[in-house]
Amino acid sequence: MNAASSGPRALTLRILRSSPTEGIAPHWQDFHVEEAEGMTLFIALNEVRETLDPALQFDFVCRAGICGSCGMLINGKPGLACRSLTRDLGALITLAPLPVFELIGDLSVNTGKWMRGTAERLETWIHSSQEVDLTAVETPMEPELAEAIYELDRCIECGCCVAGCGTLRMREEFVGAIGLNKIARFRLDPRDERSDDDFYQLIGDDTGVFGCMSLLACHDVCPKGLPLQTQIAFLRRKMAASGA
């Protein structure tokens, strides 16, 4: 009997359940759903919540791989539920919350708290001595430079690179690939008046670019395909020259 005549595939979602606020200890719970054509994990999880357990906690906003809210461990690997097709996974799919971040409950974690803390620590905003004139025409930028900045700005802060980082397991203060990517982005921006010496003060130690063990899981799991490996290597060379 071929696959077409055997009917829809039966899926088992094995989800790590827990709730720190309610005192529910971590435990695995299985849910069974019928696979539909083009089904994503986001769709499957919504079916579980709508028909089997309305208390299941997971996050979503855009459903299109733009907001980064639905990051989770999918068969042990960080990924986005809305971008993961069930047909590419086994009949048994294990789901767990992203590590490193504060757990809210089940598959929901507080990535915003970690991201905000990292942004404040690395001062990821344009530093300029110029007064902002909201009525002025924006200064033109070379298309190639604008494209290079945009490439790094595509980060959606989903937390997958943080969750996949082996260095962060050993150094809790490590800024991660996302922090280094942000520094690379502002270093490129001609409106930012900081020098490499200024950036060295932010990332020129073991909590920054010199702490990366170059395992590069961040590069492998980034759902947006950002050039994290290249940027980390480039920053390391520039910071080494600045700190010499």
Q: Which of 243, 141, 120, 233 is nearest to 189 (CA)?
A: 141
Q: Is residue 1 scored above 60 in pLDDT?
A: no
Q: Is residue 37 scored above 50 in pLDDT?
A: yes
Confidence (pTM): 0.91
Instruction: Give the residue extent of every domain in the chain.
Output: 10-109, 123-130+137-243
Contact criterion met (CB below 8 Å) for 107 and 59: yes
Check for a shared fold between 10-109 and 123-130+137-243. Answer: no
The whole-number average pLDDT for the span 12-32 is 95
Q: Could you report the per-residue pLDDT of 134-186, keeping only the tens digit for each?
A: 898 888 899 999 999 999 999 999 999 999 999 998 999 999 999 999 999 99
Encoded tokens for 73: 């461990």
pLDDT-derived band at 5 (thresholds 50, 70, 90) equals low
Q: What is the mean pLDDT of the chain?
A: 94
* Residues pairing with 129 in the sheet: none
User: What SS3 state is found at 187?
Assistant: helix
Distance CA 202, CA 204 (A): 6
192-201's contacts with Cβ under 8 Å and 24+ in sequence apart are 192/126, 192/127, 192/128, 193/127, 193/128, 193/129, 194/127, 196/238, 196/239, 196/241, 196/242, 197/242, 198/127, 199/238, 199/239, 199/242, 200/239, 200/242, 200/243
The whole-number average pLDDT for the span 125-142 is 90
- 51: CB partners within 8 A, 6+ apart: none
Q: Tell me, what amino acid is at 14?
A: R
Task: Give domain 10-109's CATH superfamily.
Answer: Beta-grasp domain (3.10.20.30)
Query: In the CATH scheme, what architecture does the domain 123-130+137-243 have?
Result: Orthogonal Bundle (1.10)
Q: Phi then psi for 231, rounded to 5 degrees?
A: -70, -40
Kindly list the strands in the beta sheet with 71-74, ordered across the sheet, starting from the edge strand earlier in the chain.
24-34, 10-19, 92-96, 71-74, 77-80
